[in-house]
Structure 1
Amino acid sequence: MGLFAKITTASDPRTARIAGILLMLLAMLAFSFADAAGKTVVAIYSVGQLLVLRALAGLLVLSPLIWRQRKAFLQLERPGLQLARTLIAACEVAVFYLATAYLPLADVITFYLASSLFVSVGAALFLGETIDRPRGIAIVVGFVGVLIALQPSTQTMSWPALIAILASVLFAGLLLLTRFLRQTPDMVLASQQFAGTLLLGLVLAPSGWITPSATDLVWFAISGAVSAVGLLCVNRSLRLAPASVVVPYQYTMIIFAAAFGWLLFGDVPSRATVAGVAIIIAAGLYLGWRERSTSRPPVGG
């Protein structure tokens, strides 16, 4: 723990960047494992029950930090947007796990990769950001990748696939609202997400509640606790290194998801899925590079 603390608080820029990258990779591994744990139990238990137990475990992990920053909850900016973000976050988690109950984990994550494309479109519609021709082409190419992965037809355009796309759209909305709430501490935003998930779960869970076995209870706890650890790693990563350095490593989540899907459920991604993922990642990386290059101040300015 002492070495970890030393690395994650490094003042040397190079060490800080390396630590930021490692923490982002650890976060993607944590999220993928948490998603796999959630998929394991959602095949038996209701999504509402998963939301309740997952949120309780996550809040338990975050509770020391919540207590330390409790005063931040008393001075929230834009309460209406805070509420909207919390509701969208809760619905996004519910829809995500509903999709994993019917689709391979890697397929659901594939659609999540398209969230960066939805964010670009949403930023133009709601934040007034412009989409120049190169960005527009990249967005179109990215959506072509989604279509290749989805392979739309009367057989493949099932409602679980549409639910997975809806989850991606909700996640993009969550990211856009987070942009509006830049002044809100990360811990407040993270705890709101778990609290909103808990409340939604309490509404949905009673209709299909099944008393979990000890083993399944562990899976529930892992899903929430590991997700909370992942959030902490992401937050620390973004504080140690520039977003342009660490955000591209979020695409490794599809690799981890495919690995867990194969190990735990025997899922093997199709060639179309792999091709679609490659195109989506390429488009997303280009959008990130374009954003970074156009936001740089002119040399000598």
Structure 2
Amino acid sequence: MAQTIARNFTIRNMLLAGILLMLAGDFMFALNDAMGKWLVASFSVGQVVLIRSIGAFIVLGPMIANQGAGKLFQMERPVLQLLRVVATTLDTGLFYAAVVHLPLADVMSFYMAGPIYVAALSHLLLGEKVGWRRWLAILVGFCGVLIILKPSSAAFSLSSSYALIGSVAFGFAIILGRLLRGTSDTTLVTWQTIGTLIVGGALTIGAWNTPSALDFGAMLLLGVVSCAAHLMITRALKLAPASTLAPLHYSLLLWAIVFGLVLFGDVPSPRILAGSAIVVLAGIFIFHRQKVVETAVPPQNVPKGVN
């Protein structure tokens, strides 16, 4: 009896710890995004991405040392590894390019459609069975994206296209992550960071703006914060079911609205709020149906990993 009570207490504590870690990780991702928007107002996207990637190695360094640098080159399916690096680099670079001119909440609304893209791409690329209910949710979710995008000649912008393409690249990165389950998190994140480092360095040529010590430190902090947030969410998924945590991940959108309003004076339009609500509800329904069908939601389905 005492052992049963102790076991149930431990399970509840693990569940609570997972929920708190997920919420904390989401907050840090949102803070990272707000810091990035502030920095790209004064520095090129390439420069921010370059220094951010260098900062990420403050966290990755000890992890690489613990794993062993040699294991970074012992990769399964190198072509897919390369494609994933391309996808995550597009995801990161286009996100920062989009927030140069768009409010955080607008850009985040596109990225909240990640699970919808994943559900559609899983059927097309992985051959996973998607029932009619989830296809209906996918179509409804895409309608939400179109409401956010408002693809008319008067409203459509280059920044909106950056956000849309970046969010689709994020979906591809998740699919490729599923195909590379045997690769450690350290290896995956290290190579995607190297990818953003190289591209950021190339984009910085001819566009370097010498930052102050404060700005340089803030760009380094971007990498530290995003890596820490990623590790928090990875740990949360090991402590609590993904189906429990996935809806909490949409708190990113709430934080994007708060930071956008407080730091930049951006007030989301009714159109953005309506489209976001449709996307979030469609995403939550997809998680629910996947739980019903498979009894468990793959951790890779949680929206917006490292950004």
TM-score where L is the length of structure 1: 0.92
Amino acid at match of 2:29: F
User: 1:78 corresponds to which residue?
Assistant: 77
Asked if the contact 1:54–1:224 (Cα under 8 Å) also holds between the matched residues in 2, the reply is yes
User: 2:140 corresponds to which residue?
Assistant: 141
Say if 1:65 and 1:261 are closer, same or farther in 2 by CA, change over 3 A.
same
Deviation at 1:295, TM superposition (A): 0.7
Alignment equivalent of 2:15, drawn from 14, 17, 24: 17
- Describe the superposition over 1:133-174 as per-residue Cα deviations: whole angstroms up to 9, x where unpaired: 111110111111112222332221111111110010000000
Amino acid at match of 1:259: V
User: 1:247 corresponds to which residue?
Assistant: 246
SS in 1 for 2:205: helix
User: 1:32 corresponds to which residue?
Assistant: 30
- Distance in 1, matches of 2:192 and 2:155, equals 32
Deviation at 1:19, TM superposition (A): 0.7
* 1:62 and 2:60 aligned: yes
- Describe the superposition over 1:213-242 as per-residue Cα deviations: whole angstroms up to 9, x where unpaired: 122113212211111111110111111112
SS in 2 for 1:68: helix
- Distance in 2, matches of 1:81 and 1:125, equals 16
User: 2:42 corresponds to which residue?
Assistant: 44
User: 1:150 corresponds to which residue?
Assistant: 149
Amino acid at match of 2:47: Q
Asked if the contact 1:27–1:234 (Cα under 8 Å) also holds between the matched residues in 2, the reply is yes
- Describe the superposition over 1:7-65 as per-residue Cα deviations: whole angstroms up to 9, x where unpaired: xxx99221111111111111111111111111111112111111110001111122111
Same amino acid, percent of matched pairs:
41
Asked if the contact 1:141–1:279 (Cα under 8 Å) also holds between the matched residues in 2, the reply is yes
Superposed, which structure 2 residues align to 1:265-280 within 5 Å? Answer: 265-280=264-279
- Distance in 1, matches of 2:232 and 2:101, equals 29
Q: 5+ unaligned residues in a row in structure 2: which ranges?
A: 1-7, 297-307
- Distance in 1, matches of 2:158 and 2:179, equals 32
Asked if the contact 1:110–1:254 (Cα under 8 Å) also holds between the matched residues in 2, the reply is yes
Q: 5+ unaligned residues in a row in structure 1: which ranges?
A: 1-9
User: 1:235 corresponds to which residue?
Assistant: 234
Paired residue total: 288
Superposed, which structure 2 residues align to 1:69-218 within 5 Å? Answer: 69-70=67-68, 71-218=70-217
User: 1:4 corresponds to which residue?
Assistant: none
- Give the 4+ runs in structure 1 shifted more than 6 A: none
Amino acid at match of 1:63: G
- Distance in 2, matches of 1:20 and 1:147, equals 34
- Distance in 2, matches of 1:85 and 1:248, equals 25
- Describe the superposition over 1:273-295 as per-residue Cα deviations: whole angstroms up to 9, x where unpaired: 11111111110000001001101
- Distance in 1, matches of 2:28 and 2:207, equals 28
User: 2:289 corresponds to which residue?
Assistant: 290
Deviation at 1:178, TM superposition (A): 0.2
Asked if the contact 1:258–1:268 (Cα under 8 Å) also holds between the matched residues in 2, the reply is yes
Asked if the contact 1:40–1:219 (Cα under 8 Å) also holds between the matched residues in 2, the reply is no
SS in 2 for 1:44: coil
SS in 2 for 1:207: coil
User: 1:5 corresponds to which residue?
Assistant: none
CA RMSD between the two structures: 1.6
Comparing 214-223 and 120-129, the one that deviates more? 214-223
Asked if the contact 1:59–1:195 (Cα under 8 Å) also holds between the matched residues in 2, the reply is no
Asked if the contact 1:26–1:230 (Cα under 8 Å) also holds between the matched residues in 2, the reply is yes
Deviation at 1:84, TM superposition (A): 1.3
Asked if the contact 1:190–1:231 (Cα under 8 Å) also holds between the matched residues in 2, the reply is no
Amino acid at match of 1:131: V
SS in 2 for 1:261: helix
- Distance in 2, matches of 1:176 and 1:221, equals 29
- Describe the superposition over 1:239-296 as per-residue Cα deviations: whole angstroms up to 9, x where unpaired: 1112112122111100011111111111111111111111111100000010011013
- Distance in 2, matches of 1:195 and 1:208, equals 20
